[in-house]
Structure 1
Amino acid sequence: LRIREGNYRVINAAVPGYTSGNELAGLALQILPYQPDAIVVLNGYADLMLPSTENETNIPYVEKFLNNAAGHLWFDLTQDMKRWLNQTYLVKATQYWVLKPQPTVEQLTMAVREESVPLAQRLPANTTELERRVKRYQNHQTQMVRLTAAAQIPLVLVVQPEITGRSTNNLSLRERELLSELGSTYTQRVQAGYGQLDTKTGQLQRSFPQNVKVLNFYKLYQNFPGQAFSDAIHLTDEANTVMADRLYKTFLELPRLQIQPAKQPQ
């Protein structure tokens, strides 16, 4: 099976750490003007991490940069040199054999956060806070559906995978280490959060059956034979291939991308 032949342009508008509030704004202001054939939104995890008092994620240090324009410019100009230096073999060898830096699972997972806080502490500690965060997520998703429906653009909403959705029987050694570092409190809270996300996205699918396709990939890698996760949410190349294949098969079901049958001669 294949989608309709033609030239396709893929616009990657993803931003690490963005929540549904950021995505809603980006969809309305930046994506819809392109009139795409289909839109894919992959999210969920960052919304569980964001306090209910906030509607979207703020970029770390943005105020510091705005208050020190000259410093920001110098920072930007020197990044290429620093990046080149850090890529040299000598520096890499020194870092590995002498310093041996080992970023924590929090640093690997939440790359855009300003402060280092254990992931378990970012997750809602009680049912009330969890319900507020998930309700905010549902409201933002609903607005995305209504915007794309009005523009007659198919929308695929994907609940992103997360390491606790893996079966313990198939975990790699590295994944076992990650789960151990994350701890039991993290596991309990994130599983409760994903349970709520599943309920709300299911309601969204039933409310807008013609306008949206919802995919819950939380347990997509439950029985994956190799290593699927490099941290709590980021995937290995092999695991990304599996998700890409599932998304492609979803596109095949979208009428706008299907190959039209040839007309029979009269």
Structure 2
Amino acid sequence: MESREAINREPGSTRSGRRISRRALVTGLLLTVLACSLLLELCSYVYLRVAEGYDGQHLMMHQFDDYKNIHPTPGYQDTRGVIHNAQGFRRAEDVAMTKPSGTYRIFLMGGSTAYGLGSLSPQGHQKYPVLKNSETIDHYLESYLKDLLPSRRIEVINAAIPSHSSHHHLIYLNQTILKYRPDMVVFVDGYNDYYPWEQNYDQFRDYPYRQWSHLYLDEPSLKAWAGYTGFWLYRKSHFVYLAGKKLRPLWWAIQNLRPQPRRELNVEEALHNLELNAEGNFLRMVERDALILNHEGIVPVFTLQPDLLFEQRKVLTEFEQRLSAEVDQAQPINYRQFKNRARSFVTAKLQQVTTAQGAPFIDMTDILGEIKDDAFTDDCHLTPPANETVAQYIGHRIAPLIAASIEKKEKGGRTS
């Protein structure tokens, strides 16, 4: 039985009667927190290296860009098969600023589909988390063109950037691409900004990533401070980065516990808005891209990408049917009907504006019918077999243009 002295011992004192100072308690607590934080950081680092393809240096696949918001992180590697070169192009080899003699250089531009992003769908990400560099459109296109034109040295460089829209191409062409003296630029676009149905849409003003600039650069606020601090930690801490990735699906699930009533889209009104928006937005961007490239003596090629919601010859797999239902739940009622009616309008308008500029246009909205397995990893991103089909479809149509361009240059050289 404890003595009366032990029972009456003051809190914070030891058996020897010494009192533990408040400073020692605080120091011990801080050391415990520090040790736990370091342990969490170490465990997160190991997990990311083993399970998530982390290369030990680059947590983020993109970084801030002065003119177009984001740019692929130079030197980034996901050890599961994603590589950026030193210039931020999705390519293992660096691209020489001075084009090697006898080389026909093609740049592939566009958003995340052209880049070759894995699925952004919660269920799709389990099956298609990443696509390797050897499974992207540019890789298949370069191989296909080398087979079609074996006597020529062909480069196809992936300069696509996830989330980018057609107005970013104007910036990127002048900022970077033209310095590499391409012979041809192929644009793979459509999903990000070709179907704006909101009234008075402006793709410069309404680009989603601009909200971060306003949050951090407008009048200082606690929200801005908390947001910036959280994002800084997300970029610098392995634990915070991993926790953010893993908790995001849980956050979405919590938000969906009380689903909001789905908005019903007025299709006729949306199509009217689209017609007005198109003239002041993506059609003008396509026209200006073509004008710039034609002025520089570069062949512009524009394409319209596939989309899961389109009525098409592709027989959807069970997995794709689940993806399709997932998209329906995420979009307003009647969105699928709008998208299919908008498709013919967008195709016709693109054909019109590209023809006026003497630029080829390739409609790829129904080219995946021969693929029996999955072609889509979500509503717009493609599987490796679909990327190969897209590459061959483009390659078959641009090969004659390449041959004619090379012949024209050779004749010009002999004449001079």
Pick the TM interval, shorter chain: 0.7 to 0.9
Asked if the contact 1:50/1:122 (under 8 Å) is kept, the reply is: no
Partner of 1:126: 270
Partner of 2:38: none
Give 1:176-195 correspondences, 5 Å limit: 176-183=321-328, 185-195=334-344
Asked if the contact 2:187/2:301 (under 8 Å) is kept, the reply is: yes
Query: Which of 211, 215, 219 is 1:64 aligned to?
Result: 215
Q: Deviations over 1:82-122 (max 9, x none)?
A: 556899xxx8xxx9xxx986979xxxxxxxxxxx9979869
Matched, 1:207 2:366: no
1:257 and 1:38, CA in 2 relative to 1: closer, same or farther beyond 3 A?
farther
Partner of 2:201: 53
Q: Deviations over 1:32-70 (max 9, x none)?
A: 222212111111222114744322324153333455497
Asked if the contact 1:158/1:215 (under 8 Å) is kept, the reply is: yes
Q: RCO (CA 8 Å, sep 6+): is it higher in 1 or 2?
A: 1
Gaps of at least 5 residues in structure 1 are 105-115
Give 1:96-245 correspondences, 5 Å limit: 125-135=269-279, 136-167=281-312, 170-183=315-328, 185-209=334-358, 212-245=359-392
In structure 2, what residue type is equivalent to 1:22?
Answer: H
Q: Per the alignment, in what secondary structure is the counterpart of residue 272 of structure 2?
A: helix
Matched, 1:246 2:393: yes
Partner of 1:77: 236
1:143 and 1:258, CA in 2 relative to 1: closer, same or farther beyond 3 A?
closer
Asked if the contact 2:290/2:354 (under 8 Å) is kept, the reply is: no
In structure 1, what residue type is equivalent to 2:273?
Answer: E
1:46 and 1:137, CA in 2 relative to 1: closer, same or farther beyond 3 A?
same
How many angstroms does 1:164 deviate by? 2.6
Q: Distance in 1 between matches of 2:267 and 2:396?
A: 33
The number of aligned residues is 239
Partner of 2:189: 43
Gaps of at least 5 residues in structure 2 are 1-147, 218-223, 254-259, 412-416
Q: Per the alignment, in what secondary structure is the counterpart of residue 46 of structure 1?
A: coil
1:153 and 1:170, CA in 2 relative to 1: closer, same or farther beyond 3 A?
same
In structure 1, what residue type is equivalent to 2:203?
Answer: N
Compare the two structures and name the one with the higher strand fraction: 2
Q: Distance in 2 between matches of 1:148 and 1:169?
A: 34
Asked if the contact 2:190/2:305 (under 8 Å) is kept, the reply is: yes
Asked if the contact 1:163/1:231 (under 8 Å) is kept, the reply is: yes
Q: Distance in 1 between matches of 2:265 and 2:163?
A: 17
Asked if the contact 1:119/1:186 (under 8 Å) is kept, the reply is: no
In structure 1, what residue type is equivalent to 2:399?
Answer: L
> Does 61-70 or 233-242 show the bigger shift?
61-70
Identity of aligned residues (%): 18
Asked if the contact 1:165/1:222 (under 8 Å) is kept, the reply is: no
Asked if the contact 2:233/2:241 (under 8 Å) is kept, the reply is: no
How many angstroms does 1:232 deviate by? 1.1
Q: Per the alignment, in what secondary structure is the counterpart of residue 231 of structure 1?
A: coil
Normalised by the length of structure 2, the TM-score is 0.49
Compare the two structures and name the one with the higher helix fraction: 1
Asked if the contact 2:271/2:342 (under 8 Å) is kept, the reply is: no
Q: Distance in 2 between matches of 1:77 and 1:206?
A: 48
1:120 and 1:215, CA in 2 relative to 1: closer, same or farther beyond 3 A?
farther
Q: Per the alignment, in what secondary structure is the counterpart of residue 163 of structure 1?
A: coil
Partner of 2:37: none
Q: Distance in 1 between matches of 2:384 and 2:404?
A: 26
